[in-house]
Structure formats: C-alpha cells, structure tokens
Amino acid sequence: MKIGIHKNPGSYGDSWIQYCEENDIPYKLVNCYDSDIVTQLNDCNGLMWHWNQNDYKAALFARQLTLSLEKKGVKVFPDVGTGWHHNDKVGQKYLLESVNAPLVKSYVFYSKKEALAWLHTTTFPKVFKLRGGASSVNVRLVTTKQQGKVLINKAFGKGFLHINRFYRFKDRVRLFKLEKDKKNARGILSGLVRIFFPTEVEKFSHREKGYIYFQDFIPGNKFDTRLVVIGNRCFGLIRYCRDGDFRASGSNVKDYDPKLLDKKCVKIAFDVTKKLNAQSLAFDFIWDSDCPKIVEISYCFGLQEANSTNCVGYWDADLNWFTPVNPTYFMIEDFIKKLK
C-alpha cells in the first residue's frame, strides 16, 4: 500500500503527511497539476488531494482526473461521489432531489424567457445564489419582482463576477469591527485592493451566466447548523447570522456547544451521506418551522471552523458520543482502511 498525497501548504495535505509520518504509512508527494500525474501514481493505490473552491485550476480537471484514476484502480480522496458536486449548488440541487434529501425548494432556469415566466408567478422573498462561492459572498435576498428581473437580465446578459467584491469588502469591515486584530486589518486592506485589482482566481474564472438559481427563503433563522459527517462520525457547530442579515456562513460568530446541535439534523446528515456513499460531507442546515432543511453540501470545510480544538466530540450513527475530533485524521484513517 502506498498513498500519493498532493502537497499544497495550508491544505489538508499538511496533516495527511503528518499522519503518515507519525504512523509509518508509506506515501509519496505528487503534483496533480503535472501532465504525467497518472504515471506518477503507478506505484500508489491511493491519491489524496484537497482541492477547494478557490482553486480555479482544480475546477478545470479535478473531477476528470478523479474518475480516470478510479478506472485505473487507484482510490481517491475525495472520490467521484464525494467531490463531483463540490462548489456547485446547481449540481447539488439535482443530487439532493434525486435521493429525496430535504433540500430547501430550489429553482434553476437556463433561459431568460422561462426565468421571467416563473418570476411572474412566484412569491417573494426568494434567495438568489450563484452556483459557487463560500462565506455567503454570492448569496442574496430578492424581495421584489423588480429585483428578480434585474438579476435575470444580468444572468442572461453580461453575467456575474465569480465573487461579489463589494460584498466581500463590506464583510471584511464587519469582521474587523468584530475583532480588531492584525489579521482582520489585513483583510480590509486586501479586500479594498481587490475591488480594483482582481485576484488571480477572479482573473481566470469565467463570468457566471447562462443560468439562474433561486431558493425559497426560509425566514426566522438566527443561525445555521454546520454538521460534518466523515465515515461513521458526525460533529459540528452553529453559526449565527450577521446582525440584521439572514446569512450565517462566514459570519465568524459561532457556538460549539453540542447541545445546540439537533439530533434530527444529525440523523439526516448520516442518512444523506450514506445514500451518496460520500467519504466526507459538510451540511448547512436551517429550520423551516420544526423541519431541518439543507441549503448546501460540501466535501471539504474550513478547518478554522470545524477543528479538534473547538469541536469537543462526535456522534456515531447510533448517537453514541466519542472524543476527540480530528477531521483530517478521520479522513486518512478511513481511506487507509479502504486501501488495505
């Protein structure tokens, strides 16, 4: 057994390497961006590569590489079922509908005519989202038909930038007010610079256009529930909404008390992960009266949020409680079991 690990400092790869060192697991460092990555893996039966939504290069080929390696007999983390829908809320809509998961009612249109026809018959508010993005940057409330029309015209006109730069800057100012430290001060500065000078990711990302995606707005949620399932373990936190806003993701106001995590959500998270046969899945839940509803899923998640220091323990599918939580170690432990 030998695992290829893609090295990218700051990614989950750091702790996967550490795990292999600590446990004498044979591994080698590989570079998934090399043209000969398939032959680099000739002496490996597994590949672990943490690619995320900010990686526009990975978005070009990670899914294709993963499927191809699976045909070669190389197991991958994230495997096809775990990773194909990453950062793709439109893909997740079809997927979650197909397995009868409780996704918030969602709508997608691929023509202006159909989108406008729907707009005239629907109720407001609705939530508009781009298919990609994190920390709520591409999520907006639409309170009137007129606002909906403006968005539809843009979606089928010049399209949307990959990231809403003004919203990002405003949110950085909010984070600084929340905690006046050096990191958040740097955040404001870079957010300001990036209004005028796009990042490499933005420069190379396509404009989002040719589709439009909405969800029913579920009112009254003061927080969302972020649960992560890795194998037979579920842990998480709640994230409070920004003041005067319906969006929780990226607010950085969190509570890790497990008593705040409702067992109904835990059960759904386990059920859906099992149906999708996913190695790792993070869920964002909100409440529609007393029914938990999913707003999005993702195979990876911010370790600054769901980590071993803050998440004190996890449940298994029978709701037994265990400690401690170490998400990246859970991933590699499960992966090694499958390889052996």
167: helix, strand or coil: helix
Nearest to 76 by CA among 34, 35, 132, 30: 30
Binding residue for ligand ADP (CB under 6 A) from 52, 249, 279, 328? 249
Smallest distance, Å, CB 315 to ligand ADP? 22
Quote the DSSP letter at residue 258.
Answer: G
Q: Any long-range contacts for 197-200 (C-beta under 8 Å, 24+ apart)?
A: 198/165, 200/56
298: helix, strand or coil: strand
Per rule CB under 5 A, count of chain residues that contact Mg ion: 3
Is 107 a binding residue for ligand ADP by CB under 6 A? The answer is no
Is 295 a binding residue for ligand ADP by CB under 6 A? The answer is yes
Of residues 241 and 332, the one with the C-beta less far from ligand ADP: 241
The item of ligand ADP, Mg ion, none sharing an interface with residue 215, based on CB under 5 to 8 Å by kind, is ligand ADP
Q: Which residues 291-310 are close enough to bind Mg ion by CB under 5 A?
A: 296
Of residues 166 and 321, the one with the C-beta less far from ligand ADP: 166
Compute the C-alpha angle 143/145/150, nearest 5°: 95
The item of ligand ADP, Mg ion, none sharing an interface with residue 162, based on CB under 5 to 8 Å by kind, is none
Of residues 7 and 131, the one with the C-beta less far from ligand ADP: 131
Is 171 a binding residue for ligand ADP by CB under 6 A? The answer is no
Residue range at the interface with ligand ADP (CB under 6 A); choices 73-81, 115-123, 129-137, 317-325: 129-137
Of residues 208 and 296, the one with the C-beta less far from Mg ion: 296
Binding residue for ligand ADP (CB under 6 A) from 76, 119, 127, 237? 127
User: What dihedral angle (degrees, nearest 10) is formed by the CA atoms of 250, 90, 217, 165?
Assistant: 40
The token pair at 332 is: 């590699």
Smallest distance, Å, CB 314 to Mg ion? 20
DSSP string covering 205-251, please? SPPB-S-EEEEE-----SEEEEEEEETTEEEEEEEEPPTT-S--TT-
258: preceding bond cis by omega (within 30 degrees): no
d(CA 252, CA 248): 8
The item of Mg ion, ligand ADP, none sharing an interface with residue 104, based on CB under 5 to 8 Å by kind, is ligand ADP
Q: Within 10 A of 21 (CB to CB), how many other CB atoms are there?
A: 10
Q: Are 295 and 285 in contact (CB under 8 A)?
A: yes
Smallest distance, Å, CB 262 to Mg ion? 17
Is 284 a binding residue for ligand ADP by CB under 6 A? The answer is yes
Which residues would be at the binding site for Mg ion (CB under 5 A)?
A: 249, 284, 296
Which residues would be at the binding site for ligand ADP (CB under 6 A)?
A: 104, 127, 129, 133-136, 139, 215-218, 221, 224, 241, 246-249, 284, 286, 295-296
